[in-house]
A and B are shown apart, each in its own frame.
Chain A
Amino acid sequence: MSGNEQSSGASLKITGGRLLDGHGSDTSNRALLIRNGRIAATGEAAEKADADQTFDAKGCVITPGFVDLYCNLREPGNGQKGNMASETRAAARGGFTTVCVSPETSPVNDSRAVTHLILDGAYASSAIRVLPVGALTRGLEGEMLSDMAGLTAAGCIALGNGSRGVRNARVLRRCMAYAQTFGLTVMLRPENQSLAADGYAHDGLVTARLGLLGIPEVAETAAVMEMLLLAEETGVRLHLSQLSCGRSVEMIADARRRGIAVTADVAMHQLAFTEDALSGFDSRFHLRPPLRSEADRKALVAGVRDGVIDAIVSQHLPHESAAKQAPLPDTEPGLSSIESVLSLGLGLVQRGELTLAELIRGLTSGPASVVGRIASIGQDDIADLCVFDPDACWTPSSQSLISAGHHAPVLGQSLAGVVRLTLVEGREAWALA
């Protein structure tokens, strides 16, 4: 990590904010003293301490830095869509201090060399922590096992299939059994490819009217069921990523009751939007999995509330503008979303669908525990912090976005929720000018 060169000995005092972590702790007006990359003192001790700098967080919420279990930084290999510097800075602006990056780079992250390339790139140009997810199969082709133990030794925190399916259930079963040998976590986006076929939108009301090619819910739920059964049999730690169906949440809750080691995440835009977003053929909302019905959206929100869904992810997938400038079916899927996650989440809080504590849990302690990390703000904890003003507003636009991708979920409208300061190990990764 390089980032902003604040000497490690310098200290920072943050005063006046509301401290909230994902474990239910919520205190107002409690100071934090940060020194040597850690929280050196809290409360009265911090208040009284001398510090080199003071940050007035009046009116702000202070939380552990957000952890994203699924995003794409586009480096190496897709420089026209984004790069390590632009996308990690966008993430820091969104309040994220740790991002797990999809193995779908070019080349695919299926070897130690590529893992090192990603980590070296992060060391050179990222102000936040970048954790690579290795490819579960070689080339993400779904046919041969990757060097899982080697990838892990090189720094991969889990193994996954990115946005690609593993068509062959026998291969998937062996992947899980092999990963289980080493206690590795397998992160899968559940999709049965033969059922999803050429679809690009939720098979439902909007596809019926607009004549779009649908992806039925069963394309996800059949895959969830298969993966849960294989996880039960192999005993692997399974993380189901980027869910879109209400029924998937039910199946995961059932599996947990049966003692299967499964965790799950959902993209923030799946909590905020439905299939209706496509009704004007808006190619930004061409997503995989697709935005589904209002009933699905509500069930996913309830899943976050109940903790069946552990984490909220950005599913950040930046593109150059040409990739979205075509008739909807010819465009590439994905949103440039990482800068808007907090604002969309605060919208859910404002409408009473989630509490602020549930939202913060889904962005901090929930995802952190999936990858075996800790996200809290107590004495001696690592100073990964996000300080945001929930009432201040900003307007996403191609001028105001940092990401190389300008297809944010909301454009040209004012959104509440502005990150004022993001600290990674006490160093400033983002500070509002």
Chain B
Amino acid sequence: MTANAASPNHLQLTRDGQLRHFLTLDGLSRALLTDILDTADSFIEVGERTIKKVPLLRGRTVVNLFFEASTRTRSTFELAAKRLSADVLNLDINTSATSKGESLSDTLLNLEAMASDMFVVRHAQSGAPHFIAESVTPGVAIINAGDGRHAHPTQAMLDMLTIRQHKGGFEGLKVAIVGDILHSRVARSQIRALNELGAEQIRVIAPGTLLPRDVESLGCTVEYDMAKGMKDVDVVIMLRLQKERMEGALLPSEREFYRLYGLSQEKLALAHPECIVMHPGPINRGVEIESAVADGPQSVILNQVTNGIAIRMAVMSMAMGGQVAERQQTLTELNERGLA
């Protein structure tokens, strides 16, 4: 017997297959992911204008609900919402005050009562946006801005946009993701996106303590030796290493980690000559990446940040469109049945 399993798509897609929440890349088709990238491309131009605004979300209220601290992600979501002409409310919520589910639900229901149209949610627990979309406020479009170790779908999509800009596409690409895969929501979403978009090889490079069990089932190969893993890759994505990993007996020292898995110029030289270097930020210079590499000619780290705004505009406008269409359709159906 299988319990009500599997696809998150009954939650995040409308009956016509449009986005109405953006919770995870699991189950989203190549066509939809490409659509997000194309839409983002069209918004890049908006960022280059003197007046950087389009009226797609005029009159809509977007609430940035950050249950976990963030500077970059929150600011790019805020800018994205403002460029779409939405009214934006930023709430940094101390997780300790809302560690009980009941108060999380109450917080959200209160915000919904203020006629919010969209919640951008970051939360320390995997599945929190999923829970909100399913059980708390299904009528508000939920955008996942990072949940626990689960997913960071807008980060992965801005990375895909950056890769497409530099490599033209995904066919035949060899991509290495290096570092703390175990705790990384970014890596999980990237692996999923790269597989769906048709990358040829995804290698994860890390010591055994920083890899989830059964990681190959996500669609990647494991390499413990960075020199082997870097060979001929077109893209290398470095992940941030949290200091706490030393205390949890996952790693002996920063120094040893850097020596084995840090991206130095020597290791980068093993990759394809046109390999690009990416990092979701914030960077620990000298822990996972050498400064000369982070600031070097192959680094596209700042392009990622710029693309973040365009991707978030794309996802927010698409999800709002789907949510409004879904509401409209439900209302029409109720009318037809004479219930409204």
Contacts and interface: CB of A to CB of B under 8 A. Distances in A.
Contacts of A276: 2-3, 5-6
Given A211-B126, A328-B126, A273 B131 contact: no
Given A327-B123, A330-B101, A280 B130 contact: yes
Interface residues of B, number: 36
A429 to B, nearest CB: 28
B100 A326 contact: yes
Contacts, number: 110
Interface string A194-215: 0000000001110111111110
B101 A216 contact: no
Contacts of B123: 327
B214 A204 contact: yes
B185 interface: yes
Interface in A331-357: 331, 344, 347
B125 A327 contact: yes
Contacts of B2: 273-274, 276-277
Q: Among A213, A281, A331, A410, which residue has the most Cβ atoms of chain B within 10 A?
A: A281
B282 interface: no
Interface string A265-278: 00000001110110
Contact of B128 (A205, A277, A284, A327): A327
B96 interface: no
Contacts of A325: 101-102, 105, 135
Contact of B5 (A210, A279, A326, A344): A279
Contact of B1 (A216, A284, A326, A344): A344
Given A211-B151, A273-B3, A326 B104 contact: yes
A330 B135 CA distance: 14
B213 interface: yes
A372 B296 CA distance: 75
B101 A211 contact: no
A277 B4 CA distance: 7
Given A211-B185, A211-B188, A279-B5, A327 B213 contact: no
Kindly state the interface size class of chain A when it binds its partner. 35 or more
A283 B4 CA distance: 12
B148 A214 contact: no
Nearest to A348: B1
Interface string A282-297: 1111000000000000
Interface string B1-42: 111111010000000000000000010000000000000000
Interface in A351-401: none
A209 B188 contact: yes
B273 interface: no
Contacts of B332: none
Nearest to B135: A325
Contacts of B6: 276, 279-280
A252 B4 CA distance: 33
Contacts of B105: 325-326
Nearest to A351: B1
Interface of A: 203-205, 207-214, 216, 272-274, 276-277, 279-285, 322-323, 325-331, 344, 347, 409-410
Given A211-B149, A326-B100, A329-B148, 14 more contacts: A208-B217, A209-B188, A212-B148, A274-B2, A276-B3, A280-B6, A280-B8, A281-B131, A327-B127, A327-B147, A328-B127, A330-B100, A331-B101, A347-B1
11 contacts: A209-B26, A211-B149, A212-B127, A273-B3, A277-B5, A280-B5, A322-B102, A325-B102, A326-B105, A409-B3, A410-B1
